[in-house]
Amino acid sequence: MKILIYFLLSLCLMSEVAFAVKAKTTTKEAPKKNTPFDVYELKGEQDGSTLLVIGGIHGDEPGGFFAPALLMDLYKVKKGKVIVIPNLNPDSILAFRRGIYKDMNRKFASIKRNDPDFDNVQAIKKIITSEEIDFIINLHDGHGFYREKWENSIFNPKAWGQTYVIDQKTLDNVPFGDLDSIAKQIESKLNQSLHYDFHTFGVRNTETRIKDEEQQNSLTFFAITHLKPALAIETSKNITELPLKTFYQISSIEALMEILGIEFERKFELNLENVAKKINDFGTLVINDNITLELSDIRNIINFTPLLAQKNHFEFTHPLGRTKRTKEGYEVYIGHKRITLLRPDIFPMQCDVKALEIELDGKASQAKFGETLDFQQNFLVKKLDGVRINVIGYSKKGIVSEHDILINKANIDGRYSLDKAKSIFRVEAYQGRNFCGMVNLRATK
Ligand SMILES: [Zn+2]
């Protein structure tokens, strides 16, 4: 079961109110604030340990945020609980930078109230220290490949890549406090299923309390000083294939769940090929409840996207989906990947029509706005009083509304499809000045 918890909402509302009051007396710009992160729960029917998985603290480490996104989408927990945060630092993920408000992982010992990361850091601290949490992992991609002895600038003891990082060997008298032994169990399991021998994982103990002052500002050190066992999983930035990094991350999380006694089922077979497929599945974007875009094969630019002048509502199925307003329109992102640009065509949407009747290859169907329907040869949109139909990529001289016309797929210009494969076409309905909605028709073979 997935539950999206809007626990940050009250915090945000409070600060907005505070700002509104302040705005009367000052002309200063609104203080910068990171976007709130999302929290999902995978809860088993049987009670057991609770694991907190944190991804995306560093925005340029995609192994660290695609792994939790896949985890929450493709796993069912049967015993115990997994709390998944795929995007702790949303604005940095969008910018594909380590930290656009500086390094968030150096803000856990102290942070100023006006720091843009303040709300997110406070909120994650609250979750980390909550009673139910038994173990915490913080996911990264680090430089190089860790080796106990110096080999060269890439393979050496200072590298972070392919490591399980612990701050100290044990956390005494705490369940699962034997960090060194847990990390070594994961390490030995992972090292049996490497895709290349040189991807060997190691355990790196930073001995934070006595040796590493900088690391004392980190999330994991905050956790262990609050008696919560924690470790960081680092795949390597030098592994450029995102599916492979994500595969290693997910395999490590599975190994840890087994140690913690968390029982789970997967909705797929865990191998590199399937992980690659899932990473390239961007899901759908529903806009204003009247347009649905399938994102996996969408064109780089969608022209004349019917949108409201403001307050457009975007809903992604992918946990890393986001839009970014630019001069040209709305850029659509999955994680750090820019998927498409929606160039807006602005309309009011006061419309009382919710569906169209369409004959697909001669067979009548009801098509709600936002639905995708298949046809093989041709389609015909039935007349609705007062509604203008526009089939994008089709035109016939002198016709204002393209209803009651049998349209063959060969009559539509493929350049106007939504997808790169030139198979999905837009049927749009208008009432007066208002845009009512879009139905997608997919030509199949
Ligand atoms: Zn990192």
What is the C-alpha to C-alpha distance for residues 264 and 82, in angstroms, rounded to an integer? 10
| Alpha-carbon distances, residue 141 vs 26, 46, 101, 433 (angstroms) | 42, 33, 19, 50
Residue carrying structure tokens 């016939």 = 396
Q: How far is Cα 61 from Cα 86, in angstroms, rounded to an integer?
A: 12
Question: Which residue matches tokens 């209803």?
Answer: 403
Identify the bridge partners of residue 233 per DSSP, sorted by sequence position: 139, 164
The owner of tokens 């009382």 is 352
Contacts of residue 302, Cβ cutoff 8 Å, sequence gap at least 6: 293, 340, 341, 342, 343, 418
CA of 283 to the centre of ligand 1 (A): 27
Q: Separation of 42 CA from ligand 1 center, angstroms?
A: 24
CB of 89 closer than 8 Å to CB of 104:
yes
CA of residue 350 to ligand 1 center, whole Å: 47
Greatest alpha-carbon pair distance for the chain in Å reads: 82
Ligand 1 centroid–CA 242 distance in Å is 15
Place of tokens 């749009």: 428
Q: What domains are there in the chain, each with its CATH number?
A: 9-279 (3.40.630.10), 284-346 (no CATH), 355-443 (no CATH)
176 CA to middle of ligand 1, Å? 24
Chunked into runs of 10 residues, the chain (445 residues) has average pLDDT values of 43 38 50 94 97 98 96 96 98 97 97 97 98 98 95 95 97 96 98 95 93 92 97 97 97 98 96 96 97 98 97 96 96 98 97 95 96 96 96 90 94 96 97 97 93
Q: Which residues neighbour 407 within 8 Å (Cβ) at sequence distance 6 or greater? A: 378, 379, 380, 391, 394
From 389, 372, 371, select the one nearest 380 (Cα to Cα).
389
Candidates 165, 281, 269; CA nearest to 223 is 165
pLDDT at 162: 97
Residue 32 Cα to ligand 1 middle (Å): 22
Distance 416 CA to ligand 1 centre (A): 41
pLDDT computed for residue 28 by the predictor: 61
CA of 147 to the centre of ligand 1 (A): 18
CA of 61 to the centre of ligand 1 (A): 6
What's the residue count for the chain?
445
Residues 6+ apart with CB under 8 A from 197: none
Supply the pLDDT for residue 445.
Answer: 80
Give the Cα separation of 412 and 73 in Å (integer). 36
* Parallel, antiparallel or unpaired: strands 135-142 and 46-54: parallel
Closest by CA to 355, choosing from 442, 438, 432, is 438
pLDDT at position 304 is: 97
243 SS3 class: helix
> 3-state DSSP helix/strand/coil percent for the chain, to nearest 5?
25, 30, 45
What is the token pair recorded at 384? 């609705």
User: Which pLDDT does position 346 carry in this prediction?
Assistant: 97
pLDDT for 52 = 98
C-alpha 140 to ligand 1 mean position (Å): 4
Amino acid identity at 321: G
Tell me whether residue 364 is exposed, middle or buried, using C-beta atoms within 10 angstroms of its C-beta: 0 to 12, 13 to 18, 19 or more. exposed
